[in-house]
Amino acid sequence: MGNACLPMPRIRSRQQRRGGDQCMHPRNAIQATTGLPLDQLLDGDSLRRSSTDAQPWVIFNLLASRSRHVSEDQMILEALRVIRTLVDNDQEPPEVLYRIHEIAGSETGWLSIMQALVNCVPLDDSLGPAVTELIVDNCPLPSKQDIQNFLAHVRLSRHIALAGRQHPLRHRNICLMVGCFAAKLPGQIAASMMTENLLEYLICNLDVEETHPQVTLFSLIALEKLAQTGENKKIIMTRLRQFEEEAYLDGMEMPMANPLVLLERLNSQENFFKRQIQFCAQWALDNVFVVPKRPFTYENIDMSRINAILSHSEVSENLKISADGLTARNDSNSFESVKCSFLIESGVWYYEATVNTTGVMQIGWATKGSKFMNHDGFGVGDDEFSIAYDGCRQLIWHSAQCDHHFHPSWRAGDVLGCLLDLDRCKVTFSLNGAPLRPYSQIFKRVRTGFFAAASFMTYQQCEFNFGQKPFRFPPRDHEFQSFNASGSLTQEQRTVLPRPKRMDARKLTVALDCCTLCCDEKANVQLEPCHHQGFCRKCADMLEICPMCRRGIHSRMPLKFVSVRG
């Protein structure tokens, strides 16, 4: 389970919140659980040292409900820690999340929570950005003035970006939150955010040679999310064109002056944050900030030897797929899923996934009957027709139930191996060649019709090898087949069109010889006496007056030849 499995506060009365705390005095309960007295726990250093306790949120449940001395910074740190332990939609959220929600109910409280997120979320926390977005999304909706107060507090400008290069934690979190606000509040509020200072701050951060890669990555994502508002997109595009005009005056190649083009050409083989930057820059250039003289990525890729990809027709709406169909990324606040194009009916099959990020991804196998609900947090492994490996929380998922496994939490660059043996009815997962025990529970409901599949929490990215190149850790004790060796794709299936091209294709389809009303049947009828065409027989029979000239229809004449409209 993805984002939705990280439960946030529901409205409860104060009496209900405290109902379970009456069996023991809070001071005694805390000391019995942690071995530390309350006064010591209120110290931040002691709080962090006690964070490995087997009952992760009991401390803050009691502190938040009995004490008002815990700072917002401490609450954010504890929320980051306990949220990774929540795996069930029906689990009651820890009290610290209720307290955060309660504080954010006032204008000053909301700003203090946002300041705490800026100051506290660590760079090395695998769930930090996703949980930040989750907390922002579940706090009361900010007003335009709240957003302006936040921006005034952080005082963004090009000068601040240059001066802040020694403080990447703070500036990564600022860029992250700017993106959160832009996605949460598109339209007038997002447009009001787009000042010259904010734009210059974000663009200055795109200098990856001088800026921390995480700051560059989330500045790029913030620009993309700001561009969801049309007015902002025009401003950003105008600023990017200025780089090209300046380059033209200096005699440079024009597209090369665009900072996104420079990021697209990063050498990112060894640095997985730079690999994310390269992916996001390329995707943005193909789908959002289109440069006229730059060819689309799919036009320059040789797909002739690739016979299995992530299916762009079997994907939830917010997932980003690379032009070669082998890398997927999610930057939305939902749990996005995708299937492979290759269907398995029998035999033994294997594929590998190289994780570029270390957060929540559920990667494994799904079937024709699998149902994914991205906004409810249900993905691969969350129904009886799929099974998945979760390397962040160290779980195996099936039918929305989880089992812990012994592998360490995955790191960027780790390779997950997924073996499906339909002859023996077992699934085996391995991490960097180290296998877990086989799993067979999925075969109680289904025996055939499998796809490779994956689900992604916010800000996660993964690369897939379906056999188009040698496997890093092939199973030694199984003879298996690869999707790429056995699959085939039509030209349409192997072409991952960027958004502008998809929109053009839809316009072309509608503009050919289909009915202008239903767009399903051929336009093969002429209305009389006005002679207007463009309607199928079914729609024409339903009309009493011509929708184009409003004259009454006396008769409907079939056309022997259908003209193609441009």
CA-based nearest residue to 393, from 15, 81, 177, 150? 81
Per-residue pLDDT at 459 exceeds 60: yes
Q: Quick one: tokens of 492?
A: 């349409």
Q: What are the φ/ψ torsions at residue 208 (nearest 5 degrees)? A: -70, -20
Stretch 151-166: mean pLDDT, rounded?
Answer: 94
155 phi-psi bin (left φ>0, alpha ψ -120 to 50, beta other): left
Q: Residues 33-43: pLDDT tens digits?
A: 334 444 444 44
C-alpha span between 522 and 563 (Å, rounded): 10
The tokens of 381 are what? 């492994």
Phi/psi class of residue 550: alpha, beta or left (left: φ > 0; alpha: ψ in -120 to 50)?
left
Give the pLDDT score at 458.
95
Q: Which residues are 189's β-sheet partners?
A: none
Residue 46 reports pLDDT greater than 90: no
What SS3 class is residue 258? coil
> Over the stretch 55-86, which tens digit does the pLDDT of each residue have?
444 444 444 444 444 689 999 999 998 887 77
pLDDT digits (tens, 9 = 90+) for 188-200: 999 999 999 999 9
**Which two structure tokens, joined as six digits, stand for 175?**
């860029």
Per-residue confidence (pLDDT) for residue 186, from 0 to 100: 87
How many CB atoms are closer than 10 A to CB 125? 18
Q: Report the run of H or E that residue 311 belongs to, with start and end.
A: strand 310-315
Q: Look at 333 and 91; give whichever has higher pLDDT.
A: 333
pLDDT tens sequence across 534-556: 899 889 988 989 998 888 999 99
Laid out side by side, the sheet with 533-535 consists of 533-535, 525-528, 555-558
Across the chain, what does the average pLDDT equal? 85
Residue 90 and residue 5: Cα distance in Å, rounded? 8
- 373, HSE (Cβ side, Cα atoms, 13 Å): 9
Give the model's pLDDT for residue 246.
Answer: 76
For 487, residues 6+ apart whose C-beta sits below 8 A from its C-beta are 307, 308, 341, 342, 466
What is the rounded distance in angstroms from the CA atom of residue 379 to the CA atom of residue 71?
Answer: 36
Q: What percent of the chain has pLDDT over 70?
A: 83
pLDDT bin (cut points 50, 70, 90) of residue 254 is: low
Beta carbons of 388 and 381 less than 8 angstroms apart: yes
The three-state secondary structure class of 115 is helix
Is the pLDDT at 12 greater than 80, yes or no?
no
DSSP 374-385: GGGTB-TTSSTT
Say whether pLDDT at 157 is over 70: yes
Calculate mean pLDDT across residues 445-460.
Answer: 95
Q: What is the mean pLDDT of residues 323-339?
A: 96
Tokens of 188: 């007038």
Q: What is the pLDDT of residue 351?
A: 98
Listed in sequence order, the DSSP H helices in 250-332 are: 259-264, 272-287
Task: Inform me whether the pLDDT recorded for 442 exceeds 50.
Answer: yes
Which pLDDT value is given to residue 264?
Answer: 94
CA-CA distance, 355 to 363, in Å (whole number)? Answer: 10
Please report where in the chains the tokens 């332990």 appear, as a residue.
Answer: 85
The 10s digit of each residue's pLDDT in 464-498 is 999 999 999 999 999 999 999 999 999 989 999 98
Q: What percent of the chain has pLDDT over 90?
A: 63
Task: Read off the amino acid at residue 449.
Answer: G
Using CA atoms, how far apart are residues 398 and 442, in angstroms rounded to an integer? Answer: 7
- Show the DSSP H helices in 43-91 as ranges: 44-49, 58-66, 72-83
* Structure-token pair, residue 528: 């009389």
Alpha-carbon dihedral angle through residues 128, 129, 133, 139, given to the nearest 10 degrees: 30
The Cα–Cα gap between 467 and 307 comes to 9
Helix segments in 439-498, DSSP class H: 483-486, 491-494
pLDDT in tens, 269-288: 778 999 999 999 999 999 99
CA dist., res. 378 & res. 352, Å (int): 22
CA triple 326-229-291, angle to 5 deg: 55
Q: Write the CA distances from 442 to 200, 314, 399, 453, integer angstroms.
A: 52, 21, 8, 14
